[in-house]
């Protein structure tokens, strides 16, 4: 018979209090991992701009708040929904609250004086941030050997 070491996260209800306090980190739980509640993000760099895509399904255009200050871009969204149904014998009430905030440091090549184009379609928020003229990649100069 072989013994297999059991991962503590696999069956958290079987942990003893002593094992809980002997962990490497005091809070080692997926519940406290904020990365899981943030929407996924893609960043693409093109010759003239940066394209940022954020997966945020279930929101409306009016739910987003996008700000840019001192080379920091902040994208946040907040949505709440409440539904109440009353009948003769019962009352049913459901509510939902969903929000997130993503903050990112922008490169110095982003031109903050130019307009940022933001579109939201099929659950994807897309931002286009233009580069400064001097940051755009110049075509190579070909020198002919004579």
Give residue limits of the domains in the chain: 40-134
Structure confidence at residue 33 as a pLDDT band (50, 70, 90): low
Q: What is the CATH number of domain 40-134?
A: 2.60.40.790
Q: Is pLDDT of 3 > 80?
A: no
Percent of residues in the chain assigned helix, strand, coil, to nearest 5: 15, 40, 45
Q: What percent of the chain has pLDDT over 90?
A: 35
pLDDT at residue 83, rounded to an integer = 81
Query: Which tokens in the block code for residue 116?
Result: 């940022």
Q: How far apart are the C-alpha atoms of 56 and 40, rounded to whole Å?
A: 8
């Amino acid at each position: 018979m072989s013994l297999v070491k059991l991962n503590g996260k696999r069956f958290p209800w079987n942990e003893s209090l002593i094992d809980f306090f002997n962990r490497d980190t005091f809070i080692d739980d997926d519940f406290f991992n904020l990365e899981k509640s943030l929407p996924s993000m893609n960043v693409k760099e093109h010759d003239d701009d940066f394209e940022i895509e954020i997966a945020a399904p279930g929101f409306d255009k009016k739910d987003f708040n996008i700000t840019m200050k001192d080379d920091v871009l902040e994208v946040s969204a907040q949505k709440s929904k409440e539904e109440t149904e009353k009948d003769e014998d019962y009352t049913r009430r459901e509510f939902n609250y969903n929000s997130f905030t993503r903050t990112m440091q922008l490169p110095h090549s982003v031109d903050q004086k130019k307009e940022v184009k933001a579109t939201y379609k099929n659950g994807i928020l897309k931002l286009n941030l233009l580069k400064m003229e001097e940051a755009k990649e110049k075509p190579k100069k070909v020198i002919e050997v004579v």
